[in-house]
Copies of this chain bind each other. A is one copy, B any other.
Amino acid sequence: MTVSRVLNGKKGVRPETRKRVLKAIEETGYIPNSLARSFTLQKTKTIGLVIADITNPFFTTLARGVENIAAKNQFSVIFCSTDEDREKEALYLEILVRKRVDGIILAPATQKGDSLKSILIKRIPIVLVDRELKSPKNLDLDIVKGDSVYGAYILTKHLLSLGHRRIGIVVGSREISTAEERVQGYKEALIEMGIPVEESLIKFSSYSEEGGYTATKELLQMRERPTAIFGGNNFITVGAITAIKEAELRIPHDVALVSFGDIDFLSQIYPFFTVVTQPAYSMGVIAAELLIRKIEGRDKVKEKREVVLKPELVIRESAGELLTKEVRAKEFCSA
């Protein structure tokens, strides 16, 4: 009908007719049905964003980036929190395919991409963020990620440079690529210094406070206690702090603590923890741009695209620059 032409700004409608249509729309309070439109056009102008937890500032910042780019291109975003649960992930992916989203941005809960089968069959464009997939082989999905190996490497080197030799590390599940990569970077730094890697100092736990707390507790109970602990993400570090407090140890006097991923709010108010930060917002922006280009067929490149963003080391006080630390602490406690 002519209405469709008017609403889509197509040419070939007399100005007067256009006006009449617009008036009728106004009067009847007509609102187009995107469902019907998407249905005929076979495109929904919607992308799915599947992440671990909308409560984690890293992911919300990333999500913000995705949303802003999506809005700029008239796309809506459906958010899904998997809680690192592969079944929930599979369920959400299935729902997204059913809803016929035009594309998906996924931070996979595991390195096994079995739940992607249907997406691949339907040839829905997909971009991974933050985390790699190991199988199926030759999947070659585009990915936007941080350089976890490098980040862990420089963070560990920093600890080593301060004289630490027994460094405990707590990361997420072995199922998640970043956990393996962070451990790898940690090992590389140790090996470079000729320090033997002690497996009992490496804890694959979960990217949660609970996980950080439990694993740190174990590390602190070792006969020969580590002098430093490496928190694998923001949540783990927060859990580690609780464990360290509980053991009545002081940071960094008794044990140093550093974190992969900054600790929102806290660091802003009281920049105490030495961390490696990741550009979460940019990751979201880049992933969304890439995805939308793929959706719109503007991305001619056939090969797997891999965007790796360098994390940045922010040296503060939790690793043990005692002098500065005490001054700053005093400042804060009464600031």
Q: Which residues of A contact B (CB under 8 A)?
A: 29, 31-36, 38-39, 44, 54-55, 57, 60-61, 63-64, 67, 76-79, 81, 94-95, 97-100, 117-118, 121-122, 234, 238, 241-242, 244-245, 249-251, 253, 263-266, 268-270, 325-326, 329-330, 332-335
Contacts and interface: CB of A to CB of B under 8 A. Distances in A.
Top 6 A-B pairs, shortest CB-CB distance: A329-B333, A250-B334, A34-B98, A266-B266, A29-B121, A35-B39
The A interface, classified by DSSP as helix, strand, loop or mixed, is helix
A99 B81 contact: no
Contact of A97 (B31, B36, B95): B31
A326 B330 CA distance: 10
A84 to B, nearest CB: 14
Contacts of A251: 334-335
B60 A64 contact: no
A244 B335 contact: yes
A16 to B, nearest CB: 26
Given A76-B99, A335-B250, A118 B81 contact: no
Contacts of A44: 35
Contacts of A38: 35
A264 B244 CA distance: 19
Contact of A269 (B61, B64, B241, B335): B241
Given A57-B265, A242-B269, 16 more contacts: A31-B118, A35-B99, A54-B54, A54-B64, A55-B57, A55-B61, A241-B335, A250-B334, A251-B335, A263-B269, A265-B266, A266-B266, A266-B269, A329-B329, A329-B333, A329-B334
A122 B29 CA distance: 9
17 contacts: A29-B117, A33-B100, A34-B99, A35-B100, A39-B39, A57-B57, A60-B60, A77-B79, A78-B78, A234-B265, A238-B269, A249-B335, A250-B335, A264-B265, A265-B266, A329-B333, A330-B333
